[in-house]
Structure 1
Amino acid sequence: MKNRFDGARPQADRAAVAGKPRAEATDIKKRIEDVFKRDAELEAQTIRVDVHDGRVTLEGHVKVWTDRQAAERAAWSAPGVTAVEDRITLA
């Protein structure tokens, strides 16, 4: 009897071969918040992080412009991030 699949891979295998697995939103958010905590110069208590389908939204306010830049860099550094929308304001 001939194999009905003729060498075709199951769907799950094809997805793994096609590219890296997608990161979960909670994992991305945790990684970004962990970077915030480790960065001694970043005052990030007033920054909220929201993640949906790899897209990160940063909202809140900071006292200095460099904190805003550091928060955006932290967001981009997390694996699985495809876009960052920076809505942080200077207070």
Structure 2
Amino acid sequence: MNKKFVLLIALLIFLVGGVLFLKTGTFGTNVLWNVSEQGSWLLPLVLVAAAIDSINPCAFSILLITIAFLISIKSRRVRILSIGGIYIFGI
């Protein structure tokens, strides 16, 4: 296999594992609370928590199915991108 591909897969596995670790346990909330100095940095706390919580594999698959459907009915590229953008913004 290509060395870059293996490195990319390893990085992806590491990131997904880290997100799952922070999302499933109380360790992540304790670390974020201490990093934000007991809530005085509320915005970074909310942004990191939202980024961890926003990973939803179902949303990616539905987006791909919708785009594949729009391509199969020969929709224009601008329409496909606008529908995909609306979907991403809505999630």
For normalisation by structure 1, the TM-score amounts to 0.27
Higher RCO structure (Cα 8 Å, ≥6 apart)? 1
Structure with bigger gyration radius: 1
Higher strand share goes to which structure? 1
> So what's the TM-score if we normalise by structure 2?
0.27
